[in-house]
Amino acid sequence: MSIRCPHCDGAIGPEWYGALLDAYDEQGHDSLPTLDITAPCCATDTSLDRLDYDWPCGFARFEIAAWNPQRSLLTPRN
Ligand SMILES: [Zn+2]
């Protein structure tokens, strides 16, 4: 797993990414308030979705999850 800067091609460690997410979490955010960042390698203002990730990565405004996939089917209400 690696992250590279699109401006200087510098390596951005996963620990930097983790610390960024932890900082938002400690501020009480349950999601990222912005994707804007300053790259730690060259201090260029950019955004998280512009970094080069070597694994599939995406950013979304919401998430859909199946909480009880074993649950019996719903029945119509009368
Ligand atoms: Zn850079």
- What pLDDT is attached to residue 56? 85
Q: How far, in Å, CA of 41 to CA of 13, rounded? A: 10
What are the sequence ranges of the domains in the chain? 1-78
- What pLDDT is attached to residue 3? 93
Cβ–Cβ < 8 Å for 10, 4: yes
pTM as predicted = 0.70
Cβ–Cβ < 8 Å for 38, 16: no
Q: How far, in Å, CA of 13 to CA of 4, rounded? A: 8
Ligand 1 geometric centre to CA of 71 (Å): 48
Q: How far, in Å, CA of 74 to CA of 71, rounded? A: 9
Write the pLDDT tens digit of every residue in 12-59.
998 998 899 899 889 888 778 889 999 999 999 999 999 999 988 888
Which long-range contacts does 21-28 make (Cβ < 8 Å, 24+ apart)?
none
Ligand 1 geometric centre to CA of 57 (Å): 19
